[in-house]
Each structure stands twice: as C-alpha cells, then as structure tokens.
Amino acid sequence: MSTNRASRLRQWMLTVFGLVALIAASSLSTRTAERDGGILITEIRGAIGVAATRLVVDAIAKARQENARYLVIHLDTPGGLVAATRDIVRQILTSPIPVIVYVSPGGARAASAGTFIVYAAHVAAMAPGTNIGAATPVDLGGLPGLPRPTAPQRDEKDKDKANPAADTAAQRKTLNDTIAMLRSLAQLRGRNVEWAEKAVRDAATLTAEDALKESVIDVVALGLDDLLTKIDGRKITINAVEHTITTNGATRIMFGPDWRTRLLGVISDPNVAFILLLIGMYGILFEFWNPGGLVAGVIGAVCLLLGLTALTALPVQYAALGLIVLGIALMIAEVFTPGLGILGIGGLTAFVTGSLFLFDPAGADIDISVSLPLIIASAATTGALALFALGAAVKARSRPALTGAEQMIGSVGEVVEWNGLQGRIRVHGEMWNARAKLPLAPGDAVLVVQRENLTLLVTSK
C-alpha cells in the first residue's frame, strides 16, 4: 500500500517538475524570439528637414512594432535645418532600439547636420570614399553671396584667441551653442571631443579612414554585410545598460517613407514652396478677375494651402512674406490706377526684396534661399501679367459701350412724332422722348448725342 502511495507521489512530482520545465522553456523561447527580431534598414538622402525627421520617427516606431534588434540608417546629406537636426538627434538619443548610422555609399557625405546625426548614433560607420564634418553654422558668414564679416582688430597677445568666424555677440552665441551640442554628443558616445569642436569652429572635415583613426566613428565598412559582420559582438550602452550587438542570422527589413513624407519632402524645398505660393496667389486673383470659372480658384487654393504647409516646415521671415504679398498687390493696383508707374515700380521692388529674404539663414546650416533666377523669372512674370491686365483694361475702355446709359450715345433713330423742338423717336425698337435744337418731321433720321434720364437729345442725321 505504501509502495503504491510512494509511486503515485513520485509521478505527481515528476509531472509538476515537467510543467515547470515546460513553462520555463516557453518563457525562454519567448525572450529568444523577442531578441531574434530583424534589422530595420532605412535611408536619409538629401537635406535634413521635416521630412527626414518624420522618416526617423516612423522608422523607430516601426522597429519597435517589429521587435527589431537594430535600426540602420544609410546617410548622405549636405546638412539642413537646425530644428530638424535637433529633433532627429533627440529621437536617436531616446530610442529604445539601438541606432546605427552608416554614411554610404562611396561618395556620400555627412556634412553639417549629418555630423551631429553620426555623433548621436549608438554605432557610427562610414563607407570608404565618404567624408564627415564642416559643421559650422552657415549664418556666421552673413547673407548668401556676401563676404564673411571680418574680425575686429585685437591685440597681439589675444590674436591666438581670436575667432574670425564669430565676430558679433549673436554669432558667438550661435557658434558656442553648436559646439556645446556636438561636444555633449561626443562625450555621451565616447568619441573624439576635440575634433567635434574643431568641426564646428573651423569647419574641419575627415575622410572615412581618418575619422576612424581620430575615433570619430567606430567602423569603416565596405557595405552593409561588412558592417553587420564588423559590429557583431560590439558593446554599446542604452539607457545606462550595456548591450552586446548580435547581428548573426538577423533578417533585414527595408523601410521607406510613406507618400505623406515624400510629399512633405518635395514641397519643403524652398524653391518649390515659393512657386506654390505664387501659383496660389495668381490663381485666386484670376478667380476674382473672372469669377465663376472655378478652375483657377480651385488650383490656386490648393497650391496656396500646400505652400503654407511648406512654410510651416521652413524658417520663414514673415516680414519678407508680407513684402511679397504687398509687391503683388501694388503691381495689381497699378493696373486699376494707372499713373506714372510708381505703384508698379514699388511693387516690383517689394516683391524682389521679400523673395530674397523670405527664408531665415539662421534656421539652417545650409543655404536655403530662393534661387535668384527663379526670383527674377517670377518678378518678370508678375510684371508681364500686370502689363497684360493694363493693356486689356485700356483696350476695353476704347470699345463702345454695350449696356447702360452710354449704350444709346451714337445710336441712330427715326422720328415718330414731333412738335416744335420735342417729340418721340424709335431707337433699337423702343420708343423714347426726344429733344432737338432744330425742328424735325416724322420719318427723319436722327442721331442720339446725349441722354438725360429718360429723354434723348438728338440731331438730324
């Protein structure tokens, strides 16, 4: 009896142990499955703007959704908007998914804003034939096309401390803020702090091989396969926790921008935004000139809304935008109040000046001004439209009146009744009271020379 009881007890214990082992194995497999997510791969090409920020945000969200191990960003940029760069850096620093920034392919660059993105990455890599650096804020050089301001004279003992790139308090403030940002990223990721300052202060650049020697990046890789092989086993820190990179056997998931991000990237180009604004204003004006057509009004409204959407993604100087609107308004006013051309000349000057200063250079580390040929072509087009409208107005004034009281002037009628110096005549099939300076007789042809209320003044024809 006791033997059977002991046997059942052993079976029961074995069953419990088996269940515990099964649960532990299931939990382990779940954790393994979570760690065995793929590697999400995306790319940023061109200037850094709101579209690039949106792409990074969407890519990190997708990586979390797919339980991805890492996010790889192929980077090739000349720079971009300061605000967008800070947003991307913030997204990388707070990302729970390790971000690997790879400057590729050969010939690509991580200039200006790209330098900050590379420094912010958990793993920074470059392909042979690429370069990094030149992170000096572009507005320190003054307006596009103008020479850099010269530094004030200093004593010889202070000459070594002088910095010709930062002459005013505002310039020094911008420069020091930019340096502090890149230095903090270098300290956070354990990269070359001295060269980070040099990249901003002196616009220094490095090739991929030199960047590796200077500890600016972690890896030089011939391609994505080579990159994943070289970083396998590397240790990184995420939220103060050390993590070992494991890329062996990971699947690769390509991720691209959606249509909204692509559209935002197109319209946020300064030249495209400028053209959309002009088309929008022209379309609405044409609708006012010729109401009921709808086509010009609809196209103008859509383009104007797209242009305003683009302006929200760009550092706009609204005083300059006001000058553009004022310039168009003055050129149109010249059509309706023709004089010595003062309104037209003033409008053209305001339009060109507003176009030149439409975008604030302090909001980007690359030149984002509207193209000068585009400004000239737009000003010429606006002036030509104003002259066309003026010519049409002058031509319309020379035409005979077709409606209203003026329509009767110059019309030929026939006397129906006449007594002395007044009577009744027929003009355009209608009976009118008439007066004349000389007596007339029924059947005489008369010419209308004036109208006074409902009485026509006529002469013999």
Q: Which residue has the higher pLDDT, 141 or 177?
A: 177
Give the residue-averaged pLDDT of 98-104. 96
Are 192 and 285 found together in one domain? no
Are 414 and 389 found together in one domain? no
Are 351 and 381 found together in one domain? yes
pLDDT at 403 over 70: no
Domain stops at, among 200, 229, 260 = 260
CA distance 310 to 396: 39
Q: Categorize the per-residue pLDDT at 11 as very low, low, confident or very high, splitting at 50, 70 and 90.
A: low
- Sequence length of the chain is 461
Domain stops at, among 239, 260, 281 = 260
Distances (CA, A) of 362 to 48, 136, 456: 15, 12, 71
378 part of a folded domain: yes
Q: Which residue has the higher pLDDT, 397 or 80?
A: 80
Active-site pick, 95, 104, 112, 369: 112
Q: Residue 388 contacts by C-beta under 8 Å, 6 or more apart in sequence?
A: none
- Collapsing DSSP to helix, strand or coil, 120 comes out as helix
Instruction: Determine the pLDDT at residue 370.
Output: 87
Are 110 and 62 found together in one domain? yes
The CATH number of the domain holding residue 436 is 2.40.50.140
Q: Which residue has the higher pLDDT, 62 or 391?
A: 62
199-247 pLDDT per residue, tens: 999 999 999 999 999 999 999 999 999 999 999 999 998 878 888 999 9
DSSP H helices, 76-191, are 82-93, 113-120, 169-189
Domain count, the chain: 3
112 is catalytic: yes
Distances (CA, A) of 201 to 130, 136, 183: 21, 6, 12
Are 243 and 386 found together in one domain? no
Mean pLDDT of the chain: 80
Range of the domain at 434: 405-460
Active-site pick, 159, 173, 213, 461: 173
The CATH number of the domain holding residue 54 is 3.90.226.10
Range of lowest pLDDT (403-407, 427-431, 432-436): 403-407
